[in-house]
Chain A
């Protein structure tokens, strides 16, 4: 089926299905980039929507910006606790009691006060002073990667640039053996993988690979804990009073959280920005005329891409959201990908506009106590990438349809063919 025919079918299915049969958790919607039609209808007709049957059991969808904000800022009622299912719609990814999964406690899937203590142990790595220190390192690496790319020939942007740069960044933050850095990419992919999605074939395989990861990081911990405190993340965890006595599982959980948090997200914004600019020649012209617009383009890329489509909570008490009563124990999914397209909160939300007045008012980082700890680092990486791209190339042309990831959580690209135009 051609892309056009497939998109037309999706539009009619999104319009035709009875409301109670709409299930926005189906990963294929994201693989085919057609989730937007379903969310547009939900925002209009049933913005707080109950889906009684899905591959992940029953769940609520929160689709409007202001309702998402209300859930995200109410951690007393809407829990992130791993034992209740954590922060992803699929319980198996985080809930230790599920068959075939492993229990890896990490602070994104904890409520205060434990969340606060562990988060504070790692947040200095992305404090302003440390970011300033990292800027030159990042710029040097970005320059090296971009200088190695072929000009005028088609190649795949995703592994050559997006994966390479985010992986280098992670290796730097962890002070991870640089030559083995692709292990980090693999572990990141495995952590959020469901069997059958193309990454792992079974829960057993996933567990096995994560155990290998655990062993590797245990060794790094042992090295760092016996050395003087350093400025890398593992050293911070090994020496901070809040984290130095955590269990091996809790340590691995936090490590994987930071790997996924720093990998999938920025990686897909690096690819998404290329696609967004390619499809919007008017915005490209604006940028060409004024490179200073990178500043406001970066948050707009992060909104437009929304690299994590959702975050999930579990209700600890009955609560009313958007006129609906959510019951204690219900699974509640905040669809950031929908809130970032909410026409009542963001002007022309489907359009990519690089000079918006308030570009940082988007949901991609979440809001409230779980707001992305690395948000300024992510912005800095993207800013440097675009500054260095514009120095070298007049255009990054997307030469074919990108392949999208089959996931309702990570919204991103498996590959994206491009051709660079010399400046």
Chain B
């Protein structure tokens, strides 16, 4: 199991135990973490699972992928170099303890 900590814009933390192999979007949706919508079901095609990867973790998750993930992030709000689509982060043992910060609202 991989522990993921989702931190709401207001500071509330949701810690979730998820099986390795699923994505950070799926883990959030399955566990009812508010603020991650995942409208497209994981195709990097709606940008409603925008998260900021905590600076300590960005080296392990890597930056946003070239192609659709980057294109879709272009249209999200307040994007920076730590921005990712959670549906493109596949959980693994290496990401145990991952910290993802949520934007104000998905859009």
Contacts and interface: CB of A to CB of B under 8 A. Distances in A.
A329 B48 CA distance: 32
Contacts of B72: 368-369
Interface stretch (A87-95, A122-130, A203-211): A122-130
B74 A120 contact: yes
Which residue of A69, A116, A126, A368 has the most chain B CB atoms within 10 A of its CB atom? A368
A187 to B, nearest CB: 26
Contact of A73 (B43, B75, B104): B43
A371 B105 contact: no
A116 B107 contact: no
Contact of A368 (B39, B68, B104): B68
A359 to B, nearest CB: 10
B71 interface: yes
B107 to A, nearest CB: 5
Contacts of A72: 45
A269 B47 CA distance: 23
A373 to B, nearest CB: 8
B74 A368 contact: no
Nearest to B39: A360
Nearest to A129: B104
A369 B71 contact: yes
Given A127-B77, A367-B45, A369-B75, A69 B40 contact: yes
B46 interface: yes
A127 B105 CA distance: 9
B41 interface: yes
Contacts of B68: 73, 368
Contacts of B48: 360
Provide the main secondary structure of the chain B interface.
loop
Contacts of B44: 73
Given A72-B45, A361-B40, A128 B71 contact: no
A120 B45 contact: no
A358 interface: yes
Size category, B interface: 20 to 34
A383 to B, nearest CB: 14
A284 interface: no
Interface string A54-92: 000000000000000100110000000000000000000
A383 B95 CA distance: 38
A112 B71 contact: yes
Contacts of A182: none
Contacts of B105: 128, 376
Interface in A351-376: 358, 360-361, 365, 367-369, 371, 373, 376
Nearest to A361: B41
A128 B105 CA distance: 6
A119 interface: yes
Contact of B104 (A119, A128, A373): A128
Interface in A97-146: 112, 116, 119-120, 123, 126-129, 131
A127 B75 CA distance: 10
Given A368-B68, A369-B71, A369-B72, A128 B39 contact: no
Which residue of A69, A371, A376 has the most chain B CB atoms within 10 A of its CB atom? A371
A376 B77 CA distance: 13
Given A112-B71, A120-B75, A127 B45 contact: no
Contacts of A69: 40, 43, 45
Contact of B46 (A116, A131, A358, A371): A371
A69 B75 CA distance: 18
Interface string B18-44: 000000000001000000010111011
Which residue of A69, A72, A360 has the most chain B CB atoms within 10 A of its CB atom? A360
A371 B37 contact: no
A360 B37 contact: yes
Nearest to B77: A127
A361 B71 contact: no
Contacts of A129: 104
Contact of B107 (A112, A358, A376): A376
A367 B71 contact: no
Interface in B59-78: 68, 71-72, 74-75, 77
The 6 closest A-B pairs by CB, nearest first: A367-B45, A128-B105, A360-B39, A73-B45, A368-B45, A367-B40
Given A73-B44, A368-B68, 9 more contacts: A72-B45, A73-B43, A73-B68, A120-B74, A123-B75, A128-B105, A129-B104, A361-B39, A369-B72
12 contacts: A73-B68, A116-B74, A123-B75, A358-B29, A361-B40, A365-B46, A368-B68, A368-B72, A369-B75, A371-B46, A371-B47, A371-B75
